Amino acid sequence: MQKNKIYIETYGCQMNLADSEIIMGILQNSGYSITQQMEDANVVFLNTCSIRDHAEQRIYGRLGNLKAIKSSKPDMIIGVLGCMAERLRKELIEEKKIVDIVVGPDEYRRIPEFIDVAFNGGKGIGVRLSRTETYDDIIPYREDGLQAWIAIMRGCDKFCTFCVVPFTRGRERSRPLQSIVLEIEQLSRRGFREVTLLGQNVNSYQDEQNDFANLLAACAVVDRRIRIRFTTSHPQDFSDKLIYTIAEHPNICSHIHLPVQSGSNRILEAMNRTYTVEHYLISIEKARKIIPGVSFSTDIIAGFPTETEEDHQMTLELMKLVRYDGAYMFKYSAREGTKAFKMGDDVPDEVKSRRLQEIISLQQQISFEINQTLLNNEEIILVEGFSRKSNDFLSGRTDSNKVVIIPFDEKIKEGSYAKVEINRVTHATLFGEFIELGDPVTLNLALTA
């Protein structure tokens, strides 16, 4: 009998992308095959996100499409995985009759068992959270490529009052340093050139005596041609040691994603973010002094409960002070079960929308101004392939995570490092001319000399 074919669709954060690769790894070990075409599959999974209501509504929309498909293909199994599975549990199966399997982030090992249950007409539900599961022994299923995700820790203990993650992903736990290093060695042999270390709060990484700075240093020396990125950092745990470690290694990218959420100390306290604007600014200043060319991005929420016009102005002021290279900006979305949910959702939607728009416009202006300062500069990019719009152009990214488009040149291969000169910019993209090829370490040294 032909084994089942699995199709998985991933929503939400990078952690979910990494989880989908772990899930595919588990399924492959159990003899299933993976398909990129939903029509070929008899098991369809949605790996879901609950961070904002909008994310969940998208999944409901998708389940509506799948209902139509299932009516013409009644043997097809449908599963909901990830944060939404954890949050809604049995409700999902009861409300959405087409859902056969519901599995939260810590029970992915049981998916093969649940598929069997579902094929026998039952419903498979696994939503227990674990204090120890890190899937450390699972080899994720990865297509060949340049860029890989590695989840180095799972869960979150911060309990920001707006956030469902501590409820959907459970307590913090870290993978052993040695196994992460081993995974990078394997990626190096396969020709990968960029690794992003992932965690809800990577600075809390802890493996015996090793903290996140130790882990970064150990990852950076595996293969100097591999760029190391990491996300997300929490401002409270952003240590001096970490700043020095980033500065010390040429292949640890000097781009730091440091979500601030709000520029008002009163709101930060209501969010339980555990830092003040002043403390946050000191970290930024230190990093700027110690890491040459460091760039920052952030997350900002507009319209948290009780946010006044004055609080909102403070957020805009903070953005002007820090001058982020980029930002992810959201309207506050009340999530049941969180502390903020009980505060009421008292900022009217049109006010949230207007504040969000002001935040976005300001950020675009700042990004454009920062990019303009790069005109005529030399930058080193890792070339990722053809640009999205045309095969006459190549696309790559700088150490600071900016996209650079250059004219196609046959000397440049995918995965090469190239020195380029920037000659045009927008708020989102840089354009340049190719100068020469090289490896990142010697090029970096040449540029800083």
Distance CA 372, CA 422 (A): 10
Burial of 292 (0-12, 13-18, 19+ CB in 10 A): exposed
159 scored as a contact of ligand SF4 (CB under 6 A): yes
> Would you say 93 or 258 has its CB closer to ligand 5AD?
258
> What number of helices (H) and strands (E) belong to the chain?
15, 21
Where does this chain touch ligand 5AD (CB under 6 A) — which range of 42-50, 247-255, 307-315, 326-334? 326-334
Cβ neighbours of residue 449 closer than 8 Å, sequence gap 6 or more: none
Token digits of residue 153: 């820790």
415 scored as a contact of ligand 5AD (CB under 6 A): no
Token digits of residue 63: 């389940």
Chosen residue from 160, 202, 347, 356 binding ligand SF4 by CB under 6 A: 160
330 scored as a contact of ligand 5AD (CB under 6 A): yes
Cα 136 to Cα 19, 31, 169, 371: the distances in Å are: 12, 20, 16, 40
Q: Where are the alpha helices (DSSP H) in 190-223?
A: 212-220
Closest approach of ligand 5AD to the CB of residue 152, in Å:
17
Q: Which residues is 79 bridged to in the sheet?
A: 45, 101
200 scored as a contact of ligand SF4 (CB under 6 A): yes
> Would you say 110 or 158 has its CB closer to ligand SF4?
158
Strand order in the sheet with 33-34: 33-34, 5-10, 43-48, 77-82, 101-103, 124-126
51 scored as a contact of ligand 5AD (CB under 6 A): yes
> Would you say 246 or 301 has its CB closer to ligand 5AD?
301
Q: Kindly identify the residues of this chain, within the stretch 250-279, that bind ligand 5AD according to CB under 6 A.
A: 259, 261
Closest approach of ligand 5AD to the CB of residue 233, in Å:
11
161 scored as a contact of ligand 5AD (CB under 6 A): no
Token digits of residue 46: 């949605």
Chosen residue from 96, 335, 355, 397 binding ligand 5AD by CB under 6 A: 335
Closest approach of ligand 5AD to the CB of residue 163, in Å:
4
Cα first-last separation, the chain: 64
Distance CA 278, CA 315 (A): 13
Closest approach of ligand SF4 to the CB of residue 234, in Å:
5
287 scored as a contact of ligand 5AD (CB under 6 A): no
* Contact in structure between 214 and 255 (CB atoms under 8 Å): no
> Would you say 332 or 417 has its CB closer to ligand 5AD?
332
Q: Kindly identify the residues of this chain, within the stretch 217-246, that bind ligand SF4 according to CB under 6 A.
A: 234
Chosen residue from 16, 20, 201, 214 binding ligand SF4 by CB under 6 A: 201
Chosen residue from 52, 154, 234, 273 binding ligand 5AD by CB under 6 A: 52
Q: Which residues bind ligand 5AD (CB under 6 A)?
A: 51-52, 162-163, 259, 261, 299, 301, 330, 332-333, 335
